[in-house]
Amino acid sequence: MAWTIADVPDQTGRTALVTGANTGLGLQTARVLAERGATVVLACRNPAKAEAAAAAIGGRTELLVLDLASLDSVRTAAAEVHRRFDRLDLLINNAGVMYPPYRRTADGFELQFGTNHLGHFALTGLLLDLLRGTANSRVVVLSSFTHKTARRGIDFDDLQSERHYRRSAAYAQSKLANLMFMYALQRRLADADGTVTGTGANSGTIALAAHPGYTATELTRHVPAALRPLNALVAAPLAQPVEMGALPTLRAATDPLAMGAHYYGPDGPFELRGFPVLKAAAAPAHNRSAQERLWAVSEQLTGVTYAC
């Protein structure tokens, strides 16, 4: 039976933080969680857009200024969360950037790797104490089916794409990094808490991942101009609406039967569209030695060390 929005259980009393919640998948995810009774923290770079999103969502929403391309902003936002909340049930690492021209973050990282992976790595580590202090909490990391195109894994010799930059390759690498981070985080959480699920007698924090298939969002705004006519003619008609694209994230975040290291995506052909089911990540995502190397590099680059 298809898992739909009707399967999202009551979230009353829970606090969820959604990055990039002012548009697209993040906005839809935040809307559903708020409708189900959660207090939803809209963590966004643009305060005006966040305010508009809060007005559109209604319910219990809180605003948080967060720019994942700046570690100073990440630290400030994490400190603000600690000041305002004494619990965090859901951290949904949704925000991302795709296919921009070569740019660097405020800290000198390639923009896609720095925003999609390093920013979320730092944020999660800085909020981990709140998460671990909240029973049955979850970290959900948003990846992409395009991670499968990073067949050679993470290019540790050119992590910031300084020697050679291809938009699509850098994006795929960042999405592969998201999955590798999730698996490594879940392993640490399981070792620390002795748990593998977030249900029943288990009260530990778990990490999961999701991907939205091909969904019509603003994420494609950086597609090169030469490819936009082809995208409009061929790809865009295949795109599913955000109401469907957000379902894998919502399932990872709320399904009582979900377990740590579960990875959800659409059930349709090529994982482009459909209802959320368990998916298999590509082999490089499961490379444990590469996961640990990425973890060590991420701690070094961000200055954030995990206490688990």
Q: What is the pLDDT of residue 307?
A: 85
Confidence of residue 203 (pLDDT cuts 50, 70, 90): low
Q: What is the pLDDT of residue 192?
A: 82
Q: Which stretch of 12-16, 158-162, 191-195, 302-306 has the lowest confidence by average pLDDT?
A: 191-195
User: Out of 99, 102, 165, 171, which one is annotated catalytic?
Assistant: 171
**Domains defined for the chain, CATH in brackets:** 10-301 (3.40.50.720)
Q: Which of 103, 105, 99 is nearest to 68 (CA)?
A: 105
Confidence of residue 202 (pLDDT cuts 50, 70, 90): very low
Q: Which of 231, 210, 211, 213 is nearest to 221 (CA)?
A: 231
Condensed to tens digits (0 to 9), the pLDDT of residues 255-296 reads 999 999 999 999 988 889 999 999 999 999 999 999 999 999
Q: What is the pLDDT of residue 1?
A: 86
Query: What does the alpha-carbon distance between residue 274 and residue 147 come to, in Å, rounded to a whole number?
Result: 19
- At a CB cut-off of 8 Å and minimum separation 6, what does 76 contact? 65
Q: State both tokens at 36.
A: 């189900």
Residue 306 annotated among the catalytic residues of the structure: no
Sign of the Cα pseudo-torsion (20, 21, 24, 28, in order): positive
**Is residue 186 a contact partner of residue 207, using CB atoms and an 8 Å limit?**
yes
Alpha helices (H) in 155-287, listed in sequence order: 167-193, 228-230, 242-245, 247-254
Does residue 194 or residue 249 have the better pLDDT?
A: 249
